[in-house]
Structure 1
Amino acid sequence: MGRSRSFRKSATNLSPRMVRDYVRTQLWPVPLIAIVASVVFAQWVTWLDHQLDDDMPPALSALLFGGGAAAARSLMEAIAASTVTVTSLTFSLTVVTLQLASSQYSPRLLRTFTSDRFVHNTLALFLATFAFSLTVLRTIRDNDEESTGFVPEIAVTLSFLLSLTTVIGLVLFLGHLSRQLRVERMLEDVHDDFTATIGGVTGGSKTPHIELDAPAGALDLPAGSSGFLVQVNEEALLQVAEQFDAVIVLRRPPGDFLVEGVPYAHATQRDGGHWTSDVAEQLRQAVEDSTTIGFERNSVQDIGFPVQQILDVAVRAISPSVNDPTTCVHALGHLSAGLSSLAREDQGHRMMTDSQGTLRVTIRRRTFAMLLELVVSQVCTYGMDDPRVARRLVDLIAETEHNDSGRHGEVSRQQRQRIARALSGSQLDPVDQQELLERCAAGM
């Protein structure tokens, strides 16, 4: 009961960006809208056919379908049946693509495919054509003693044109799918997502140094359910802090997995007092309602998720079962570009103040130091026996140092030491090993 209540209440505080991300990563919204729109459009076109049935200009009539009711019915049935077949093929190809991406690269790359607008629009076109054809088909009537025959010439002609469009769409979809299966394209998509996330979470007041540990007497705020902290409604949390005259600190960043009942934040009264048990429970519930916990990470506020996606591709590429160091080198290049962009920002933990300038909310963020350590530790563990991978990792440190203007000098020095230790224990050729060790030492 506790878990379902948490999901339901937190969903009411989803930010517009969170809603857009949810809709963007689902396959059904765009096709569903297209189906409804096509049914309404088909009804309107058949009504227009009724209105112009006896007054059709000859020039227009010559361009429209000229067969009888039986021919029109056969054509519409053929269009509907073939469109369903093409749609089934498209879904099958999409599922196969998802399976390949999951098994060969990383299961966390599935969001990249499900958020592909080209796939959404292609499925919408096919299903809209099917729905339009069925809607028009039901309006075709034979001329007999009980009713006057009716053939919606405009609607049948539009159905024919839509069917031709679906054929073109299928060809374009196959070409698009072949491009999407390339690892370079997937890395580019995640890189763009990484850049967008950096722009979305690096604005505002931040500080790289702040005390996140709970002081004595602080009120612990436990997670209401288990799952990933996928979103923090910052404005709602600031209002809660002002309402209870509190200072709220979220010690876990978005993207961390929370366990129900385990504290992930704390609150203190600004004047050093204590809340009653009833007020404390209200505060806990209000903070819980200001966060969203789910079972799938996303990149709305979690800057570590795109890094993990690219890093998964890199680590899997250098696994003994794959042995593809080229892909790992390319992935490290994308990571270097993203981390360099992050290094240029004034990174730190999110701080929010009220209208009087009083600190009210602190939200922990994944900083440049945390992400650089994640990348270096993973590659040092799995890939230092390959000279190209080792050389690219050393280049990554040099490139990020070039872009951080000396703000993260100690962080870079520590990671250079980590790389040097990994190089010393690697199976590299002594010449390559000595060269890379000298490069590491030169930057310390």
Structure 2
Amino acid sequence: MGKLRFLWEELMGSFWFIPILIILFSIGLASMLIYFDRTVDIESMGILRNILTESADSARSVLSTISGAMIGVAGTVFSITLVALTLASSQFGSRLLKNFMHERLNQVVLGTYVSIYVYCLIILNVVKDNDNEVFIPTLSILVAILAAIGNIILLIVFIHHISISIQASKVISDISSSLMKNIESIFSEELDEENPTGTSNTESLDHYTKEFPHSKELKSPKSGYLQYLYNESLFKVAKKHEYIIVTLHRIGSYIVKNQPIITLYSKTEFTEESVINFEDHMILGNSRTTQRDAEHSIHQMVEIACRALSPGINDPFTAISCIDNLTSTLCYLTEVKFPSKYKFDEEDQLRYVHEPLTYQGALDAAFLQIRQFSKGSPSVVIRLMEAMITIYNYTHHSIHKKAVREHVEMIMKVAENSFEESHDLEDIRKRSEAILENS
């Protein structure tokens, strides 16, 4: 189920799936309304006389006008989307284009305009006015008119959405919201006061594999990024076959063809039937995704900050905004339980080993590159120090505090080597004392 859920979410995030669903819905709606028009006679009385179309020529004219306008606006919408994607690519990086393509409003707008065009074509085809039959689908035409009015409003909303979607503050806010949603889904358990790392056993892997003399490496059939790893299913397989399964890569890692990806440990000789088909438990793709890869979401924010700090752009305010949002994420991570790399069965036998994201890894992913690019920008370096102070105040355990102190020391070295103004250096040194003096 986990793999199917992953594939479904990827499908929903594609640029074509939602529009196709809307088009199919419009075809079904057209068929239903045509049937209703044939079975129910709607009289043009009262206010309906000014709304319903009563002649075949008028019906054809209205439907032709709507269909031509809708397909024309659909081309305009597509052009606007491409311009927005081009601007976003040049400003924030091409890797963020997927975020814009996943925008539900963009998909709905494109699908709606094309679907109304298809709807009008179907209705136009059934309009009859000859010696054998006279059929004017008045209700279907009324729905087409109402849909056209709704699409005009939708176009205004779409233009407003596009105009703000490429602003740096909106992009950073959207990525931050997506990052927090992803983090909360992955790290849902609260921190154990006695076990902050989530690791219940510190023994080495060799300690557990001494009674499993037979081992076998499973190699990747192709190159690509590890997009999804179904830990629960691998754990169940390990219990069923009495293996110890060790995954050698974390989600988001790039794996080369024929590179070892899983190691199996067994007490008995391996047979062809006993070796698992690991492709059923993981997905390799051409690019990283944000679904289960929290580190990739962090890297998206870091990329914006690093591009903002490049000499060609030199926008420290955008970088500072990224630092603020990353600080919020890291403060949240100080309160959650990171999963253990070891997973035991009911009999306390090790069955599954993987490489989860750690607090140190998340902290490094968030701030190492920004610190490296911040040299020569005192305001960004000072904000980095302020971020470390905020995060340090949220941490309650020594292992987290040690990781933060290491970053404070690295930020101080950048300040000492790049600050030209003594007052700036003295300012950041005073800020760091509150942390370094407690080490």
TM-score, length-normalised on structure 1?
A: 0.89
Q: Determine the structure 1 residue equivalent to 2:18.
A: 30
| CA displacement at 1:327 relative to structure 2 | 0.2
Q: Deviations over 1:270-294 (max 9, x none)?
A: xxx3533536xx53x4233211111
Which residue of structure 2 aligns with residue 331 of structure 1? 322
Counterpart secondary structure, 1:15? helix
Give the secondary structure class of the aligned counterpart of 1:248: strand
Q: SS of the residue aligned with 1:398?
A: helix
Does the 8 Å contact 1:14/1:292 carry over to 2?
Answer: no
Q: Which residue of 1 aligns with 2:258?
A: 261
Correspondence for 2:300 among 297, 309, 329: 309
Which amino acid letter does the alignment assign opposite residue 334 of structure 1? N
- For CA contacts below 8 A with separation 6 or more, give which structure has more relative contact order: 1
Compared with structure 1, are the counterparts of its residues 376 and 437 closer, same or farther at alpha carbon in structure 2 (3 Å cutoff)?
farther
348-357 vs 380-389, greater mean Cα deviation: 348-357
Name the residue aligned to 2:360: 369
**CA distance in 2 between partners of 1:422 and 1:223 (Å):** 41
SS in 1 for 2:128: coil
Q: Which SS does the other structure have where 1:26 is aligned? A: coil
CA distance in 1, matches of 2:204, 2:420: 42
Given that residues 212 and 251 in structure 1 are in contact (C-alpha distance below 8 angstroms), is that contact kept between their aligned partners in structure 2? no
Give matches, 1:240-389, under 5 Å. 240-269=237-266, 273-276=267-270, 278=272, 282-283=274-275, 285-389=276-380
Q: Partner residue of 2:404?
A: 412
How much has 1:306 moved relative to structure 2? Answer: 0.8
C-alpha separation in 1, matches of 2:11 and 2:202? 36
Give the Cα separation in 1 of the matches to 2:200 and 2:305. Answer: 29
Q: In the superposition, relative to structure 1, how do residues 248 and 74 fare at CA in structure 2: closer, same or farther (>3 Å)?
A: same
User: Does 1:78 pair with 2:65?
Assistant: yes
Q: Give the Å deviation of 1:209.
A: 7.0
In structure 2, runs of 5+ residues without a counterpart are 193-197
* Counterpart Cα distance in 1 of 2:366 and 2:58: 64
Report the CA distance between 1:295 and its aligned residue. Answer: 1.2
Matched position secondary structure for 1:267? strand
Q: 1:433 to 1:123 in 2, by over 3 A?
A: same
Q: Given the alignment, which residue of 100, 104, 107 partners 1:113?
A: 100
Counterpart residue number, 2:150: 165
* Alignment partner of 1:39 out of 8, 16, 27: 27
Map 1:169-248 onto structure 2 (within 5 A).
Answer: 169-203=154-188, 206-207=198-199, 210=202, 218-248=215-245
Q: Tell me the SS of whatever aligns to 1:138.
A: helix
The 1:346/1:235 distance shift into structure 2, 3 A limit, reads closer
Contact 2:305 2:318 in 1 (8 A): yes
Amino acid at match of 1:431: H
Q: CA deviation at 1:172?
A: 0.6
Mapped to 2, the partners of 1:334 and 1:359 lie a distance apart of 38
- TM-superposed CA distance for 1:350, in Å, is 4.6
Asked whether the equivalents of residues 378 and 415 of structure 2 are also in contact (C-alpha less than 8 Å), the reply is no
Q: Which moved more, 1:353-362 or 1:415-424?
A: 353-362
Contact 2:70 2:116 in 1 (8 A): yes
Q: Render the CA deviation track for 1:177-201: whole Å, top value 9, x for unaligned.
A: 1121111111111111111211222
1:95 positional shift = 1.5
Aligned to 2:195: none
Q: Is the 8 A contact 1:42 1:132 kept in 2?
A: yes
Asked whether the equivalents of residues 238 and 352 of structure 2 are also in contact (C-alpha less than 8 Å), the reply is: yes
Aligned-residue CA RMSD in angstroms?
A: 2.3
**Change in CA separation of 1:208 and 1:27 when aligned onto 2, cut-off 3 Å:** farther
CA distance 1:242–1:26, shift in 2 (3 Å):
same
% identical aligned pairs: 22
**Counterpart AA for 1:261:** N
Matched with 2:81 is 94
**Residues matched between the structures, number:** 423
CA drift of 1:226 comes to 1.1
Unpaired runs of 5+ in structure 1?
Answer: 1-12
Q: CA deviation at 1:213?
A: 6.3
Q: Is the 1:329–1:389 Cα contact (8 Å) retained in structure 2?
A: yes
| Cα shift at 1:165 | 1.0
Q: Give 1:140's aligned amino acid.
A: V
Aligned counterpart, 1:151:
136
Q: How far is 1:267 from its partner?
A: 2.6
Q: Which moved more, 1:324-333 or 1:338-347?
A: 338-347
Deviation at 1:14, TM superposition (A): 5.5
Give the distance between the partners of 2:305 and 2:29, measured in 1 at CA: 48
2:124 match: 137
